[in-house]
């Protein structure tokens, strides 16, 4: 009941105060995995969206219109996501939707936003979300293809020619696995082992024993918590000394807490938010990153994760589109597709009719190493 009170209270507060505004509220939707196994992704996304909407409304709204946000919890489940997207579109009549949090839940709701012609800005990473391009679907999370390129560039530079991959058997893992296999030849990399694990598996010793027998130069694990933390622990238990890479799907302190000592030395591609204070002063994103971290920490008592940044960028893009288009879904879609030079948490967005993510590998990712239980920028 607590989560529903929060959702309703945001809407009721805005409705009660709408009379002091020049225009009717712009109603938008949020769809996040606030509870369940992937709550570490959805909770900071929800928190960030609420914080930004409050800031926008206190500053006068958008063109004299307040933002009314209605947020639902998918619990990280595809069926629930479909029910909630239908409610947002048909019952709540939102102008646009931010989320869902996961690749699988995003892919599940895409047919509905396409059918009803409602702009969706996903916070998930899978490249299938925007490739091939779907007119009404955008995303802010860096694509797994860019993450793989970052890892493979490091492998190439350091002479890792034979790698093993172990990926989770869900939408995020499948998309990552496809990119790992597709891009390997471009970097002179041979995949000597290809193992899978389930989202709820609690031991990967069998898969890692097979990998150990192949004696790879490095291991790449692709998934979201808790599976990757178990992989890290099992590798340590098996005495495996290979360099372990993780995906950006574990880019939060939750992973370090779960993996414990086994997290030490792991390398992963991540958004700059994890190492904002380590960036050079001339980095165009640094000020925005530090401001976001400070505001989030002041409001919620903890630092935001990279996942909260996905919602930040989505609202940044939607704010830009609403300012140009007003309460017109088709014009909002067009404004999103033509958004250029938007400096966000996870990069500089340059959308186009052929690119509904708008990020490049230069600004979207940095490589970080876990040292002494914290993130260290690899320069």
Name residue, tokens 């063109």. 63
pLDDT bin (cut points 50, 70, 90) of residue 1 is very low
CA angle 56, 69, 348 (to 5 degrees): 55
Task: Work out the widest C-alpha separation in the chain, in whole angstroms.
Answer: 69
369 is a domain residue: no
Co-location of 120 and 176 in the same domain: no
pLDDT bin (cut points 50, 70, 90) of residue 363 is confident
CB 160 within 8 A of CB 189: yes
78-103 residue pLDDT tens:
999 999 999 999 999 999 999 999 99
pLDDT bin (cut points 50, 70, 90) of residue 22 is low
pLDDT bin (cut points 50, 70, 90) of residue 218 is very high
Pair of tokens at residue 44:
């900071």
Co-location of 322 and 295 in the same domain: yes
Co-location of 6 and 135 in the same domain: yes
Query: Domain end: 219, 245, 270, which one?
Result: 270
Pair of tokens at residue 349:
């967005």
Rounded to the nearest 10 degrees, the angle between the axes of helix 171-183 and helix 103-116 is 100
14 is a domain residue: yes
Co-location of 164 and 292 in the same domain: no
What is the C-alpha to C-alpha distance for residues 224 and 232, in angstroms, rounded to an integer? 12
Co-location of 13 and 107 in the same domain: yes
What total number of domains does the chain contain?
A: 2
pLDDT bin (cut points 50, 70, 90) of residue 361 is confident
What is the C-alpha to C-alpha distance for residues 54 and 79, in angstroms, rounded to an integer? 30
CB 344 within 8 A of CB 289: no
275 is a domain residue: no
What is the C-alpha to C-alpha distance for residues 261 and 337, in angstroms, rounded to an integer? 44
Co-location of 136 and 24 in the same domain: yes
**Mean pLDDT score across all residues of the chain:** 93
CB 40 within 8 A of CB 306: no
DSSP code of 267?
A: E
Q: What percent of the chain lies above the pLDDT cut of 90?
A: 87
Per-residue model confidence (pLDDT) at position 171: 85
Co-location of 134 and 243 in the same domain: no
Q: What is the mean pLDDT of residues 304-312?
A: 93
347 is a domain residue: yes
What is the C-alpha to C-alpha distance for residues 213 and 352, in angstroms, rounded to an integer? 46
Residue 309 has pLDDT above 80, yes or no: yes
237 is a domain residue: yes
Residue 16 has pLDDT above 60, yes or no: no
Co-location of 316 and 349 in the same domain: yes
In this structure, what are the phi and psi dihedrals at residue 166, rounded to the nearest 5 degrees? -135, 115
- What CATH code is carried by the domain that includes residue 148? 3.40.50.2300
Name residue, tokens 């238990």. 237
Co-location of 305 and 265 in the same domain: no
Q: What is the mean pLDDT of residues 53-62?
A: 96
Range of the domain at 198: 144-270
Co-location of 195 and 68 in the same domain: no
3-state DSSP assignment of residue 92: coil
52 is a domain residue: yes
Residue 228 has pLDDT above 80, yes or no: yes
Residue 213 has pLDDT above 80, yes or no: yes
Per-residue model confidence (pLDDT) at position 321: 98
Co-location of 128 and 176 in the same domain: no
Q: What percent of the chain lies above the pLDDT cut of 70?
A: 94
Residue 224: which of 97, 347, 123 has the closest Cα?
A: 123
Per-residue model confidence (pLDDT) at position 20: 57
pLDDT bin (cut points 50, 70, 90) of residue 17 is very low
Co-location of 22 and 96 in the same domain: yes
376 is a domain residue: no
304 is a domain residue: yes
Residue 15 has pLDDT above 50, yes or no: no
């Amino acid at each position: 009941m607590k989560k529903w009170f929060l959702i309703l209270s945001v809407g009721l507060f805005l409705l009660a105060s709408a009379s002091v505004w020049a225009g009717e509220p712009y109603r938008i939707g949020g769809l996040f995995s606030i509870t369940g196994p992937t709550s570490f992704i959805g909770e900071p996304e929800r928190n960030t969206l609420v914080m930004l909407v409050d800031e926008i409304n206190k500053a006068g709204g958008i063109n004299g219109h307040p933002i009314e946000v209605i947020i639902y919890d998918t619990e990280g489940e595809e069926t629930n996501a479909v029910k909630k997207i239908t409610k947002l579109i048909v019952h709540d009549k939102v102008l646009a939707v931010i989320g869902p949090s996961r690749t699988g839940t995003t892919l599940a709701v895409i047919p509905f936003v396409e059918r009803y012609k409602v702009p969706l800005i996903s916070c998930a990473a899978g490249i299938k979300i925007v490739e091939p391009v779907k007119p009404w679907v955008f995303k802010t999370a860096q694509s797994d293809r860019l993450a793989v390129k970052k890892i493979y560039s490091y492998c190439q530079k350091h002479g890792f020619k034979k790698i093993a991959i172990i990926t989770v058997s869900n939408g995020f893992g499948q998309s990552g696995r496809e990119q790992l296999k597709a891009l390997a030849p471009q970097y002179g990399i041979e995949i000597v082992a290809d193992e899978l694990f389930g989202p709820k598996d609690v031991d990967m010793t069998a898969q890692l024993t097979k990998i150990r027998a192949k004696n790879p130069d490095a291991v790449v694990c692709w998934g979201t918590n808790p599976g990757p933390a178990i992989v890290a622990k099992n590798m340590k238990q098996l005495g495996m000394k290979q360099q372990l890479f993780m995906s950006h799907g574990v880019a939060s302190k939750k992973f370090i807490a779960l993996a414990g000592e086994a997290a030490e030395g792991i390398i992963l591609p991540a958004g700059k938010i994890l190492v904002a204070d380590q960036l050079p002063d001339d980095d165009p994103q640094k000020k925005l990153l530090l401001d976001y971290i400070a505001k989030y920490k002041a409001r919620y008592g903890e630092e935001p994760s990279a996942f909260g940044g996905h919602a930040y960028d989505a609202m940044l893009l939607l704010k830009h589109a609403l300012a140009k288009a007003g309460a017109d879904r088709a014009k909002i879609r067009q404004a999103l597709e033509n958004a250029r030079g938007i400096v966000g948490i996870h990069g500089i967005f340059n959308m186009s009719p052929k690119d509904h993510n708008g990020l490049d590998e230069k600004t979207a990712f940095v490589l970080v190493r876990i040292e002494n239980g914290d993130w260290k920028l690899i320069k």
